[in-house]
Amino acid sequence: MKLNLVAEIRDPVHGYIRMTEVEKELIDSPFVQRLRKIHQLAGSYLVYPGATHTRFEHVIGTMHVAGLIADALVRGSEIDSDLVQQVRIAALLHDVGHGPFSHMYEEVLTAESHEEISQRVILETSIRDIINSNGFSPVKMSEFAIGRLKTRAPFLNEIIAGSLSADMMDYLPRDSYFTGVEYGKVDAQRVMNSLHVAGGHLVIDDAALYAYEALLLARYEMFKAVYFHRTVRAAELMLVRSMQLADEVLGLTDISDLSRYLNLTDELVIHQLVTLDPTTRKLREAKRLAKDFNDRRLVKCAFERVVQRKDEKVGLLFADESARKKALTGIADASGVDPNTLYLDVPTTPSVPYTYSKEVLREVSLLRFKGKKRVVKAVPLSELSLVGSITGFMDVLRVYTSQENRTAVEKATSSMFMDEGPDTLVR
């Protein structure tokens, strides 16, 4: 079935993106329009001034990329054309449940993930009616949108979430474009055109393996340069703590009332934080942190160390929250600094992406053609020389504090974690 494309949007990354009637109806709904007020990269604009793009552009771009992947599979006679519209709708709605400041909000909200909230938005708002009136199942689309469709064809979920997802193939070039960082410029089109279905899963033609490796390496470099940038994380840590301190008063993590939750945007939450009535110590601190975030008066990185996982003394901090709290207490005691002014930061996102089932990616399935015979081979990432070297987590440990406490914290943290001398201290 050929899609009836009725309108188009000019996108700075993908060019003209055309949409169907149901897609236009969904995009015009207040629940997708709301994403215009949610920054894609949270506080990164404090470091990269151009990074003011939003979740709105990203979901439309992801819809477009997912459509390109589906079209490639249709051309290869590997899926029915009737599935293309469902794939595009799922991609469009995959982030509809994001809270203010995107993934930062999830560091505050522990009860539900943004994927679970996305399902609620699809099932409990007028989005359900739009999907239903166009002949699709709201329940199935709510599952599909978060890559958890109950199906015998798991490749459908893999288009939405995972190591070959449309999500990643939009956010990498998009974030690269708006930050001005070059690492995200990859040949995603080559990857898309080389995807096939085998054994119910997405596989990639081994002739395009170089393009896929470049995609994974670009993601790693973007984490270092943008997503886990030292100053970006300083801003985000401050805002997360401000939200945590004010949560009891502002009810930021109360998602029992979905309509109230959907009114939360970046601008509104910042306004609520900077206008707090400072009646308690916690609220005074929450207000101060939010105002400092707004004015770009950020905490300073007092210590930074690249950690080898075989170093059990420090590597434990990446896996155990209680160990991190104990380390912060030790730094506070040794430096004589209030522990509430300290931040210990380690990345919790893997260097290479998760699979669609949220497991750490360990291998890639390659499709090889021997004459007319198709052979699928699973290749461990460890056998890919460059990608294998970055598997696991980004092993960097940082400690932040205020400018006035920086020297004392440097000394205390150095004595606790350093074995090689002072060269890796951040001055």
Q: What is the DSSP string of 43-106?
A: GGGGTSTT---BHHHHHHHHHHHHHHHHHHHHHTTSS-GGGHHHHHHHHHTTTTT--TTTHHHH
What pLDDT shows up at residue 402? 95
Question: Distance between CA 259 and CA 161 in Å, rounded?
Answer: 26
Residue of 379, 60, 32 whose CA lies nearest to 212:
379
Question: Distance between CA 128 and CA 367 in Å, rounded?
Answer: 38
Residue 135: CB partners within 8 Å, gap ≥ 6?
A: none
pTM of the model: 0.92
Question: Distance between CA 250 and CA 130 in Å, rounded?
Answer: 32
Question: DSSP 3-state assignment of 230?
Answer: helix
Asked if 146 and 98 count as a contact pair (C-beta separation under 8 A), the reply is: no
What pLDDT shows up at residue 183? 86
Q: Which residues of the chain have pLDDT under 70?
A: 1, 308-319, 385, 389, 392-394, 418-427
Tokens 């006035």, located at residue: 404
What average pLDDT is seen over the chain?
Answer: 90
What pLDDT shows up at residue 426? 41
From first CA to last CA, the distance across the chain in angstroms is 61
What pLDDT shows up at residue 380? 85
What pLDDT shows up at residue 421? 40
What pLDDT shows up at residue 316? 57
